[in-house]
């Protein structure tokens, strides 16, 4: 069986909260032979940043086909791309979270990606009346139609981003404190644990063909398994 440290992997959306956390976690070890950080801009990383060993690939998501070679020979993919309606407007949100994500997934599959890990959202459902869960659910559904050997859909609840937390997330965290003090894993998750959940499932590479949806609670379990 092929070991992970013989494989190439990519992260789409690595400058976002979950993608950044994932890139940092991956840089702590030799999880993969090579990691391609895919984004719309180059980020200057200091020599003391362990992620400087990774390759950065700058792409135009509106013309992603022109950069399809960056996905070549990547057996494992992480899709962490995303924005919000508040940041990009309704049309911008759909363009990023649906169009860009699906285009990247299709090209990756065509270029040989065997396992895809997608960061979705708690409550995702393609038939939802609300735009955010509907869009996430639509992506989930269409990803299952692409034929990846393995597809892991991670559904985090409220993301705890530390200093990068958005206003609504900070408010939600404050309001949920009485509940999360009793059951910390119920309705929130640190971005670092999202990253560990992604890494834990990537370690199942080659262990059968399957599609699996991880709830927020299951993501916590996966993250803990990586630490064990």
Residue 136 annotated to the active site: yes
Q: Which entry of 136, 177, 207, 210 is annotated as an active-site residue?
A: 136
| DSSP codes joined into one string, 57-95 | EE--GGGGGGGGGGGTTEEEEEE-----HHHHHHHHHHI
Helix, strand, coil shares, percent, the chain, to 5 = 50, 20, 30
Rounded distance between C-alpha atoms, residue 12 and residue 139, angstroms: 15
Residues 6+ apart with CB under 8 A from 6: 33
Nearest to 166 by CA among 93, 87, 82: 87
| DSSP codes joined into one string, 5-41 | GG-EEEEETTTSHHHHHHHHHHHTTTSSSEEEEEESS
Residue 61 annotated to the active site: no
Active site residues: 132, 136
């Amino acid at each position: 069986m092929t070991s992970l440290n013989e494989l190439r992997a990519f992260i789409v959306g690595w400058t976002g909260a979950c993608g950044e956390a994932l890139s940092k976690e991956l840089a702590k070890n030799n999880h993969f032979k090579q990691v391609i950080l895919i984004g719309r801009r180059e980020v200057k990383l200091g020599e003391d940043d362990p992620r400087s060993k990774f390759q950065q690939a700058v792409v135009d998501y509106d013309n992603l086909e022109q950069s399809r070679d960056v996905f070549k020979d990547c057996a494992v993919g992480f899709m962490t791309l995303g924005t919000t309606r508040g940041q990009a407007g309704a049309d911008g949100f759909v363009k990023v979270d649906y169009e860009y994500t699906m285009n990247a997934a299709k090209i990756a599959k065509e270029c040989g990606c065997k396992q895809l890990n997608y960061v979705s959202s708690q409550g995702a459902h393609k038939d939802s009346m609300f735009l955010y869960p509907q869009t996430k659910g639509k992506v989930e559904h269409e990803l299952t139609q692409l034929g990846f050997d393995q597809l892991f859909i991670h559904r985090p609840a409220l993301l705890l981003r530390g200093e990068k937390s958005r206003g609504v997330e900070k408010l939600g965290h404050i309001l949920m404190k009485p509940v999360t003090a009793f059951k910390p894993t119920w309705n929130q998750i640190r971005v670092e644990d999202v990253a560990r959940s992604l890494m834990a499932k990537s370690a199942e590479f080659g262990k059968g063909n399957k599609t699996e949806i991880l709830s927020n609670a299951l993501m916590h379990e996966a993250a803990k398994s990586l630490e064990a």
